[in-house]
Chains A and B, each alone.
Chain A
Amino acid sequence: MTVDYVLRRLGMFVLIIFVAGTLNFAIPRLRPTNPVEERMNQLLQQAGGVHIANVEQMIERYEERFGLKNPLWLQYANYWIALSRLDFGQSIAYFPADVTKEVRRAMPWTLGLVGVTTVMAAVIGSFFGAWLGWTRTPIAISFVVPLLLIVTAVPFYLLGLLMLWMFTVFWPILPGGGAHDPLIAPALDLRTVLDIVKHAILPAGAIILSSIGFWGLGMRGMMVTTMGDDFIKLAEFKGLKERRIFVRYAVRNALLPQVTGLAINLGFVVSGSVLVEVLFAYPGIGNLLYTAITSNDYFLIQGVLMYVIFAVGLMLFVVDMIYPLIDPRIRYRSA
């Protein structure tokens, strides 16, 4: 039953990567100028005429690597060959470091911070939303809705600034930035873990607070729709226990779109959370991307983008694989 389905979805995944990768290749080349020269000129301007040692070498290396004098089809072929080796070229900002190496250094921090908080926000938010959408929830609880709206509406860099001020200035109990204490030699012991957790509390809090409303309101909306469905009425006529109606009939069905949402969001985790990471000086992908953009580090941007494309595509593939398990109406069958 399933082989055909898996192959189809896998084909879709490959297609997504192919199309996105091709766009990634084509769009920069639509520009009338030579990107490498342009970047180098910008870099020289930024340096304010100060001599930069490696500029000639950099131009040489890039022309050589990307074979910009080669015909387009060969460039395209080489591009895919390089990609297949996860070779995105060398960073301009961190020259001569490889883009891949930079991304790999930042990735664990982002996965840890943004990955964990995305899951937590989705779980907590959906839980609140389910509760708010349940008609038998006491009216008093409904004041949470405007609260969620407010927290979601406040831009989270403002929320982050407020938190920074509160916990590092007004009541200094948490570190104001970084991912770990630079004075502690990283080791796999309790002290290091506690230190990392302590550093993660503020950025994690900012991400969770700012996205919890999104999940909560989405879930509440789905709950309200589901509660109006006929099968909820029949469940009541059947004299089922409230708890069973809530969990097995209402939440179970209302949760389905949330699962898709979570998977897509998990795909975007690898792009990091730019604002939060910059604000809290967290050395993740978001911070890396920020540096890349502010320093016109074109290859780094492209590299991060490819990771995002790959991760989103992969997560969509994973959703397609698990969705038939949670919603029987979607079958592994091809029809």
Chain B
Amino acid sequence: MTTAMASETPLVVKDLQVYYHTRRGPVKAVDGVSFELKRGERLGLVGESGSGKSTIALALMMAHKEPARIEGGSILLNGSNLLEDNDEQVRLRRLSEIAMVPQGALNSLNPVMRIRDQVIDGLKDHNVRMSDGEFSQRVAELLESVGLDRDVASRFPHELSGGMKQRVAIAIAISMNPSVIIADEPTSALDVVVQKQVVQTLREVQERIGAAAIMIGHDMGLMAQFASRIGIMYGGKIAEIGPVADIFKNPKHPYTQLLISSLPDTRSKRRLEGIPGLPPSLLRPPPGCIFHTRCPEAMEVCMQEIPATRELDENRFAACHLYGDEDGREVAL
């Protein structure tokens, strides 16, 4: 286990499939997603609502609820597959190996418990044995490391601002030095200035403990600030993934191109463009490439065959029929 803990690639997701089983059939919210995270790496997952990004976060925490089920694939966390663990093993690996900074932290702390106790109970349930004084010391360190005063420990959640609560959530997430931190729209309920500070803090602590991080969201600006790599999700699949600068400068997938051109730009006065059409039904996804119904460059083949993911450049992957064997090798899922 010790070698696995020190693994250089703490998270390897292979061909993950998560379906919501509804009365009308399975909704393929996550349909064959693969990616890897290296130590210290920050991945941003971007996509419109319903593209499956939050479902990935839940699945990685193994906190998905019925009717969601993981149908296939594997989640290798520090070299061992989460899907093969029993409930108690999964519970113990949460927080200690993989931690979550939740969405909208305004209500994510227990209103009747002091902050101190809410940091400590996670440690206690992971068999961390310390004296009361040592626990207090640890809580103070954690709070200060996310830019909070150590006095916050004795306060109740309602006495904190939204940004402070989100910092507490970050402090809890790093309390056991996990190797992976997931942040699911961690700033969704905060104002713009606080958003930037919270993301900055998240980045600092992530770098300090050397964890890999996934941030989920749709704010491309925040993503650019935080992530080293960006994955663009569409219809339960990763359409394109690559280093943040490349994605912004030279998007390969038509969906990414439309997404980037829909961003406001202060330097040019061009008209903003949206992406025509609506997201596809994941209950009855269109045949072939799931994006072909909205794609300006759709071809005959797009309606029949699901495009393979190709490595177009170093570290750049896209799943689109525009690219053939001469552009990059096919990557097995």
Q: Are A253 and B110 in contact (CB under 8 A)?
A: yes
Q: Are B111 and A248 in contact (CB under 8 A)?
A: no
Give every chain A residue within 8 A of B92 (Cβ-Cβ).
Answer: 239
Stretch of B120-128, B145-153, B316-324 contacting A (4+ beta carbons < 8 Å) = B120-128
Q: Are B121 and A231 in contact (CB under 8 A)?
A: no
Chain B, Cβ-Cβ closest to A242: B91
Q: Are A234 and B109 in contact (CB under 8 A)?
A: yes
Q: Are B112 and A230 in contact (CB under 8 A)?
A: no
Chain B, Cβ-Cβ closest to A232: B110
The answer to whether the Cβ of A60 comes within 8 Å of any Cβ in the partner chain is: no
Given A237-B99, A238-B121, A329-B158, A231–B93 Cβ distance below 8 Å?
no
Report the separation of the CA atoms of residues A237 and B109 in the bound assembly, to the nearest whole angstrom.
12
Chain B, Cβ-Cβ closest to A236: B63
Give every chain A residue within 8 A of B109 (Cβ-Cβ).
Answer: 231, 234
How many chain A residues touch B (Cβ–Cβ < 8 Å)?
Answer: 22
Contact of A239 among B93, B105, B112, B156 (CB under 8 A): B93
The answer to whether the Cβ of B227 comes within 8 Å of any Cβ in the partner chain is: no
The answer to whether the Cβ of A252 comes within 8 Å of any Cβ in the partner chain is: yes
Which residues of chain A (247-271) have a CB below 8 Å from chain B?
A: 248-249, 252-253, 256
Q: Are A252 and B94 in contact (CB under 8 A)?
A: no
The answer to whether the Cβ of A241 comes within 8 Å of any Cβ in the partner chain is: yes
Report the separation of the CA atoms of residues A237 and B104 in the bound assembly, to the nearest whole angstrom.
14
Give every chain A residue within 8 A of B95 (Cβ-Cβ).
Answer: 237-239
Q: Are A253 and B112 in contact (CB under 8 A)?
A: yes
Q: Which of B112, B113, B122, B169 has the most CB of A within 10 A?
A: B112
Please encode chain B, from 90 to 117, with 1 for each CB lying within 8 Å of some chain A CB and 0 for all others: 0111111001101111111111110000
Q: Which of A234, A235, A236, A237 has the most CB of B within 10 A?
A: A237
Q: Are A244 and B63 in contact (CB under 8 A)?
A: no
Q: Are B121 and A248 in contact (CB under 8 A)?
A: yes
Q: Are B121 and A233 in contact (CB under 8 A)?
A: no
Contact of B108 among A233, A240, A326 (CB under 8 A): A233
Which residues of chain A (41-69) have a CB below 8 Å from chain B?
A: none
Given A234-B169, A237-B100, A328–B110 Cβ distance below 8 Å?
no
The answer to whether the Cβ of B232 comes within 8 Å of any Cβ in the partner chain is: no
Give every chain A residue within 8 A of B100 (Cβ-Cβ).
Answer: 234, 237
Report the separation of the CA atoms of residues A327 and B63 in the bound assembly, to the nearest whole angstrom.
29
Q: Are B125 and A237 in contact (CB under 8 A)?
A: no
Chain B, Cβ-Cβ closest to A330: B158
Give every chain A residue within 8 A of B156 (Cβ-Cβ).
Answer: 328-329
Give every chain B residue within 8 A of A248 (Cβ-Cβ).
Answer: 110, 113, 121
Q: Are A253 and B111 in contact (CB under 8 A)?
A: yes
Q: Are A328 and B169 in contact (CB under 8 A)?
A: no
The answer to whether the Cβ of A181 comes within 8 Å of any Cβ in the partner chain is: no
Report the separation of the CA atoms of residues A235 and B50 in the bound assembly, to the nearest whole angstrom.
25
Which residues of chain B (187-238) have a CB below 8 Å from chain A?
A: none
Chain A min CB distance to B135 (Å): 15
Which residues of chain A (175-233) have a CB below 8 Å from chain B?
A: 229-231, 233
Give every chain B residue within 8 A of A326 (Cβ-Cβ).
Answer: 112
Q: Which of A239, A244, A249 has the most CB of B within 10 A?
A: A239
Given A237-B63, A239-B91, A244–B110 Cβ distance below 8 Å?
no
What are 25 inter-chain pairs, A to B, with CB distance below 8 A? Answer: A229-B107, A230-B102, A230-B105, A230-B108, A231-B107, A231-B111, A234-B109, A235-B110, A236-B63, A236-B94, A237-B63, A237-B95, A237-B99, A237-B100, A237-B102, A238-B95, A238-B99, A238-B121, A239-B95, A240-B91, A240-B122, A241-B91, A252-B112, A253-B110, A327-B111
Task: Known A-B contacts: A239-B93, A241-B91. Give 9 more (CB < 8 A).
Answer: A231-B107, A231-B108, A231-B110, A233-B63, A237-B99, A238-B94, A238-B172, A239-B126, A326-B112
